Structure 1
Amino acid sequence: MPRINFQQQLVALKDKLLAMAALSQQALEFALEAYLNGDLGLCSHVREIEAAINSAERSVDEMAYDLLAKEQPMAIDLRFILSVIKINGDLERIGDQATNIAQRAEMLHDRPQISLPIDIANMGEKVGVMIRSAIQALLEADAKLAESVLTLDDEVDAINRTVQAELVEVMQQHPHVSEQSLNAIIISRNLERAADHATNIAEDVIFWIRGSDVRHKMSLAEAD
């Protein structure tokens, strides 16, 4: 009977984490839409969601540490709880990146809207796919799906480098749009960091399922 109860608690812990993941995804989607469409109402929603994320993070941590202390799990159950604790932190930080983007959207609301030679919407969509895939991999215990997130991270990194290079050039040639360009650079960086957190989540899913740590590994080509 105690073992059955423990498995039920693991399911409840997973459900709590998935609910928090939904909040983090929503916060990032709202923040990006607020920036792209100038919708200040969405910025206030992002702040409300961020408060809920912070509360959820504390709840998930408390439950996870309680299970570690009382149940002393072994093998895959131990890896799952350790992964939940790390994923919990990454989801909270995705919420932080969303809040940062919403703040930039608010700062730019009264500024003239200009067309910049970048595609933040496309970058945001890729990051959204990464987050959704990482969470789906957690839900389905799918290590191969988690691995696909690692590949997408390279694409987002490349987009971020392109955005920064192009907007630095814009600021040099058109100083009157420097504020809009600088904020776009910062938002691109926020998205890149959100992608990093999605990558961390995917790596933790792989660790949970396979027991292998894929962090900090690189190919020989990358090392060169």
Structure 2
Amino acid sequence: MADTTKPDVLARGHTVRAYDQELAELTTLICRMGGLAEQQVAGAVDSLLRRDVGIAATVIQRDDEVDALEERVDQHVIRLLALRQPMAVDLRIIAMALKISNDLERTSDYAVSIAKRAQRLAEQPELRPIASIPRMASACVAMIKDVLDAYVDRDADKAMAVWNRDHEVDELYDSLFRELITYMLEDPRTISRCIDLLFIAKNLERIGDHATNVAEKIHYMIHGSQINRPRHEVG
């Protein structure tokens, strides 16, 4: 009797390898998108601190690249859901990729907003240096980098470490808010510039929130459960 099982085994093996490759491609797309979003934030703040409108213009132009990557993630996810009918952990990985890509796209949008305000501020007299903005930016960029590492490693603990750091960005924002209000009260001529800086600080605070959102999605992706405890209760 002819051996009819071997071709079936080979076909299944090929299917599994192809599926694994498609999942790996999805991870690669998210990482590319995250790396670009991280560069966008760093570039936007660099343009602000250097008063360099050229760097700001580059950040604004590169937003299209982030949008294009989000569209590729969307198409990849739809194809996987339609053709592979994933279950359990694989389904969560694929579904969360859609949500994570949205957080990364919003992160780039906030970087563009910072860059546009940096262009406007570069045309006005410089205010006394405000240390909280580069500190906030550094904290946000580190959160993005670390949460992407957690995504690649499928490490929920590492993701939760990022999640618990969001309060640091919030505290820097509150401190900067009070400082800028003081500037405006002391010298009304600074109001326009201070408002721009307040919006920049708020954008950074929201970028930190999106990194936190990604951490929550990684936790769900791995454990299948939502985080419903205050930050200080989660290790």
**Deviation, structure 1 residue 217:** 3.2
TM-score, normalization by structure 2: 0.90
User: For 2:166, which of 134, 144, 153 is the aligned residue?
Assistant: 153
**Deviation, structure 1 residue 3:** 2.2
Residue pair 1:116, 1:181 contacting (<8 A) in 2 also: no
- Deviation readout 1:49-107 (Å, 9 max, x if unpaired): 10100111101111011101211100110010011110000000000000000000011
1:122-161 matches, within 5 Å, as: 122-161=135-174
CA pair 180-118 structure 1, distance change in 2 beyond 3 A? farther
2:230 is matched with: 218
TM-score, normalization by structure 1: 0.94
Which has the greater radius of gyration? 2
CA pair 193-6 structure 1, distance change in 2 beyond 3 A? same
Residue identity opposite 1:88 in structure 2: S
Q: Tell me the matched-pair count.
A: 220
2:197 is matched with: 184
Mark the runs of 5 or more structure 1 residues left unpaired by the alignment: none
Aligned residue for 1:115, secondary structure, equals coil
Mapped pair 1:91 → 2:92: no
**Deviation, structure 1 residue 162:** 1.5
Distance in 1 (CA, whole Å) between partners of 2:164 and 2:39 is 23
Residue pair 2:164, 2:231 contacting (<8 A) in 1 also: no
CA pair 220-40 structure 1, distance change in 2 beyond 3 A? closer
2:66 is matched with: 53
Mark the runs of 5 or more structure 2 residues left unpaired by the alignment: 1-13
1:64 is matched with: 77
1:121 is matched with: 134
The Cα RMSD (Å) is 1.5
User: For 1:102, which of 115, 130, 137 is the aligned residue?
Assistant: 115
Percentage of matched positions with identical amino acids: 32
Residue identity opposite 1:150 in structure 2: W
2:207 is matched with: 194
2:3 is matched with: none
2:186 is matched with: 173
User: For 2:39, which of 26, 46, 54 is the aligned residue?
Assistant: 26
User: For 2:49, which of 32, 36, 57 is the aligned residue?
Assistant: 36
Residue pair 2:163, 2:231 contacting (<8 A) in 1 also: no
